[in-house]
Structure 1
Amino acid sequence: MSYCVNCGVELDSSLDHCPLCNTPVINPNELKRIADAVPPFPEQRGEVDTVKRRDFTLLIGIILTATSASCLLLNLLVFTGSLWSLFIIGACLLLFIVLLPAITTLHLPMYLSLALDGAGIAFYLYLISFTTADQHWFFALAVPIVGLCTILCEIFAILMKHFRVSYLTTTLYFFVETALLCMGLELLIEHFFTKPMRLTWSAIVLTVCAVISITLLTILSRQRLREAVRRRLHF
């Protein structure tokens, strides 16, 4: 005769659960057998060795180099209609430059990394210019635009590193640089097409960004208003 270990009710020998509290009925003689049973899956956790950055860099370099070389050979020997391989070669080079801080052990300064990214984009556009009839657009338009974007990114990095950083200040920096970017793009495009250099569509962007920036400056300059906005926006 056996009893439930939870509620104490008398149990029939054929039951595997208590009819009153649904507690499983376990034969004490089977506890050792259950404890000695081999689990169906390993209990020890295995760990995979981390890949060294040097090996990962070598692998990425080989893949990108092989891709560039294969496309160049196909372009020279099979598909000779145009210099389409320059697009692939430039993309591989640009990808390697962008991934360089992440896949190497070199701790490049943020400003140098941004400058290398800008130089990589400019070189990619330079390769593309070989597929066009005239390269004037590269020197007169592409290089100034890439330079403008790189400078704005550098300024944004300086602001984020050396000045006060919060959600409000980051938003302020973003809208100010958006206005500068749109103004610069429009003036550079008009200069390239020898049009009168004046603001048209970028003036709308400038107006919107100016209103938002003035609002953010007002909030940042008044502590009580700043704290109220932070509480309501939960940051």
Structure 2
Amino acid sequence: MSYCVNCGTKLQEGTTHCPLCRIDSINPLEQAVTPTPLYPATPLGKSEKPKSRASLLCIISLFLGIPVLITTLSDLLSDGSWGWSRYVLASMALFYVIAVIPFFFPKNNPLFFLGIDVFATVLFLFVLNVIGGWNWFFPFGLVVALGVGLLIFALALMLRSGKLSKTAKTAAFFLMLGLITVHVELSVFFCFDGLPLVGWSLYSILACLVFAIIAVIIDNSPALKEELKKRAFF
């Protein structure tokens, strides 16, 4: 224990100067002690990553497997056959591919997983068609799934483009949304009626077109864009 030679203030171990008068005070008989840091050395805003993504993936897989197991057992015990629970299994498998797997590969290109999602959706629709004994997958289900997937892929390319502003990307989103509805209706008429016509989807694409035009007008008006930013607290 030491005291300041100037004002007599009691000093803590390892202190090299008085906290009051700032006079150097070194005790040669006292070993140098490194003071304990008041705060951790971990930078702010950075949290520790999971030590094992494989373990977390295993836990999530087990949780998703619970409803599949319960519905399968209920289906088998009720009538002795594996029937309606296959829909649950197919749905959970699609959810696993779309929502769970990309979470564990954040550094990969999202467009790669988008292609996998489209393939998984097509396979899901095919499985539903086989389970139900229907015949709507060829060509209707395949045409709709591939067409919607292609439009979403094009939208993703535009959204990831660094050359487009936020309002321009918003306009692209509404345009693609309208095109998707038109594609679905045309596919219905082409696959079942044989005559491609546009009916209810015309109203949806007109509404989407109005929103897209509004977004383009805002994008080309700096004063209006700045005013909207102030109003929206951006």
TM-score after normalising by structure 2: 0.66
Q: Distance in 2 between matches of 1:158 and 1:49?
A: 29
Following superposition, the deviation at residue 165 of structure 1 comes to 5.2
Alignment match, 2:123: 123
Deviations 1:39-61 (A, max 9, x none): xxxxxxxxx99562111112333
1:101 aligns with 2:102: yes
Q: Secondary structure at the match of 1:162?
A: coil
User: Superposed, which structure 2 residues align to 1:80-229 within 5 Å?
Assistant: 80=80, 83-98=83-98, 99-102=100-103, 104-105=104-105, 107-134=107-134, 136-164=135-163, 166-229=165-228
The CA deviation string for residues 116-168 of structure 1, in whole angstroms up to 9 with x for no partner, is: 2222222222221123233x211222222222222222122211111445542
Distance 2:95 2:197 in 1: 36
Structure 2 stretches lacking a partner, 5+ long:
1-47
The number of residue pairs the alignment matches comes to 186
Q: Does the C-alpha gap of structure 1 residues 216 and 225 become closer, same or farther in structure 2, counting only changes over 3 Å?
A: same
Q: Confirm or deny: 8 A CA contact 2:75 2:83 kept in the other structure.
A: yes
Report the counterpart of residue 29 of structure 1 in structure 2: none
Letter of the structure 2 residue corresponding to residue 100 of structure 1: I
Contact 2:182 2:201 in 1 (8 A): yes
CA RMSD of aligned residues (A): 3.0
**Cα distance between partner residues in 1 of 2:67 and 2:121:** 19
Which residue matches 1:55?
55
CA distance 1:208–1:68, change in 2 (3 Å): closer
Residues 95 and 207 (structure 1 numbering): CA distance in 2 closer, same or farther, change over 3 Å? closer
Unpaired runs of 5+ residues, structure 1, are: 1-47
TM-score by length of 1: 0.66
Work out whether residues 165 and 219 of structure 2, in 8 Å CA contact, stay in contact via their aligned partners in 1. Answer: no
1:9-49 deviation line (CA, Å, top 9, x unaligned): xxxxxxxxxxxxxxxxxxxxxxxxxxxxxxxxxxxxxxx99
Give me the whole-angstrom Cα distance separating, in 2, the residues matched to 1:233 and 1:67: 42
State the partner residue of 1:39.
none
Identity, % of aligned positions: 19
3-state SS of the aligned residue for 1:176? helix
After TM superposition, give the deviation of residue 172 of structure 1 in Å: 0.9
Contact 2:90 2:124 in 1 (8 A): yes
Q: CA–CA distance in 2 between the matches of 1:126 and 1:117?
A: 14
Find the aligned partners of 1:49 and 1:144 in 2 and give their Cα distance.
Answer: 42
Counterpart amino acid of residue 212 in structure 1: F
